[in-house]
Structure 1
């Protein structure tokens, strides 16, 4: 069946992914894909076009991680799609293992930007200042669009009233039985290990088991068996900066001072150019024990949340 071809004006929502694994998950969430459209010579982005629940979506990846790359991609996308109104920045991030209204933040959960107190949903840091315990405050970064905040709230309300989790069901859209997509499967709660903040990973480029990390240094946490069929969502403040945070003690210090739930690397570059909701699947705890085990499922969980959001957006908002 041939792909539908729309015009540039038909697309109002941009879905931005920093990593290939995030873009694969995004593509699997589309109801249908659309034929590519011509673009100006000075727009070097590669777009994947499609729709979800009658909302037309532009999916675009970044050539490299970081705020500068994100800013360039968004600037070019706005030039090619003049009716672009807002974006979703969807992918993986490092979580802060603290308690929220939804419970303890754990691997495979989703964190979504939401204004809280003095923060607009995302605050910016640079790596050097973050290591000194400094984050930029204030409203330099725009809060998420009201329509997306309302959709996120409506989705939360309706999820509580359902007997099943539509976000978890969305993760099943990715056929993990295929060899190339196995990494998107749920690793299991027994693969979620949180170590004491002072305890460093023993050997780089090796798993905790291979490097001999002491299991006695893990923090004991109760496993909720229902998490195996439910995506827990936390909403609050996300920190965005140009380099990865991999220091558990600094993570906890910054999080406590600023009320942070998550660290990531692209939002500041996007939010300076496009109103956006940031959606992050938690793949690690911003410590030295990082590994790739949860990358696939965390990307799938974030994409699944983003897909469900389109079922709570007003249709006229996408068509106006």
Structure 2
């Protein structure tokens, strides 16, 4: 900004100056060309639907930078709340793919110290301090009891009549745990939910973005664990799933669209879990979410895992909630940037 422009801006009323700052922050005009060393936060989103949601959360989009020929990742660059962020997708789901992408990202962008692993996951329908876990809620990794925040549930020893998990994944970075706590406390005091506002950044009137819209509370159905879906690929209303087998759950008096944030232990493994009985058996020691990439990403990369609940890890698993759950997780991740201390990240 030249001297004349600066003087003009300072002569404006304070309210107008704030509006000027907001317009500048949310514009799509990229700042001066940055270097790879200027990026400090990595954002990994395994699925295409998750990457679309992530891109909608950026304040500004930056031009891509040259990268080594040995790095086959495709990066999207931008900023949120003064933090420069690198967004990377995965060529396929799973821990091995996540580990490879994270390794290359950290080599190409050497000042990325930690990351956010953001996407969808299967929720365990239990009650937490925030209420009952429901579709569209967000689950965030946090150390609880003996767990570091994430565990690899399919890694361990097969003993006579039992399976013993071994090894531990790194806990989330302290700065992100503090940011998550600060976000929770500030969000509890405001009338207008900032996470809901961030979800509105995705224009669901666009034909290709309609699947990010809220499906409705009536589409959140939980059946008894021992009552499987009657016909794969066919909606319950058409295949004869008995309504009497649904589990009635009380509401807590909040709006159906209010996004509950549950913080606790997330389980990672290579298994696509679609068995409610197995889900409940694995979750007995406090697991509240299942996903497929955290174990790979957390091998040597401090991460906070953020998952929007798109299913209950049972035979009723389908794609109906994928878009909204991805949007909710991305919206939470965006808000987290506003609670990170800039100096500590850099």
The residue that corresponds to 1:16 in the other structure is 44
Give TM-score scaled by structure 2 length: 0.88
Query: Is 2:170 aligned against 1:142?
Result: yes
Quote the offset at 1:317 in angstroms. Answer: 2.5
Q: Which of 283, 290, 311 is the aligned partner of 2:310?
A: 283
CA separation in 1, counterparts of 2:50 and 2:162? 30
Quote the offset at 1:208 in angstroms. Answer: 1.9
Give SS of 2:328's match.
helix
CA separation in 2, counterparts of 1:248 and 1:127? 20
Quote the offset at 1:273 in angstroms. Answer: 2.2
Give TM-score scaled by structure 1 length: 0.95
Q: How does 1:1-320 map to 2 (within 5 A)?
A: 3-4=30-31, 5-126=33-154, 134=163, 136-138=165-167, 140-223=168-251, 226-256=254-284, 258-318=285-345, 320=346
RMSD: 1.7
Q: Is the 8 A contact 1:125 1:135 kept in 2?
A: no
CA separation in 2, counterparts of 1:2 and 1:311? 20
Kindly tell me the number of residue pairs found equivalent between the two proteins: 316
The runs of at least 4 aligned residues of structure 1 exceeding 4 Å deviation read 127-130
Quote the offset at 1:135 in angstroms. Answer: 5.7
Instruction: Summarize deviations over 1:164-204 as a string: whole Å, max 9, x none.
Output: 21111111110011110010011111110000000011111
Change (3 A) 1:6 1:239: same
Quote the offset at 1:245 in angstroms. Answer: 1.1
CA separation in 2, counterparts of 1:133 and 1:235? 28
CA separation in 2, counterparts of 1:304 and 1:37? 26
Q: Is the 8 A contact 2:157 2:166 kept in 1?
A: no
Change (3 A) 1:292 1:133: farther
Give the structure with higher Rg (CA).
2
CA separation in 2, counterparts of 1:283 and 1:192? 10
Give SS of 1:134's match.
strand
- Could you tell me which runs of 5 or more consecutive residues in structure 1 were left unpaired when the two chains were aligned: none
CA separation in 2, counterparts of 1:143 and 1:283? 24
Quote the offset at 1:279 in angstroms. Answer: 0.2
Q: Which moved more, 1:204-213 or 1:294-303?
A: 204-213
Give SS of 2:119's match.
strand
Quote the offset at 1:243 in angstroms. Answer: 1.5
CA separation in 2, counterparts of 1:196 and 1:133? 25
Quote the offset at 1:224 in angstroms. Answer: 5.1
Quote the offset at 1:133 in angstroms. Answer: 6.6
Give SS of 1:48's match.
strand
CA separation in 2, counterparts of 1:110 and 1:316? 27
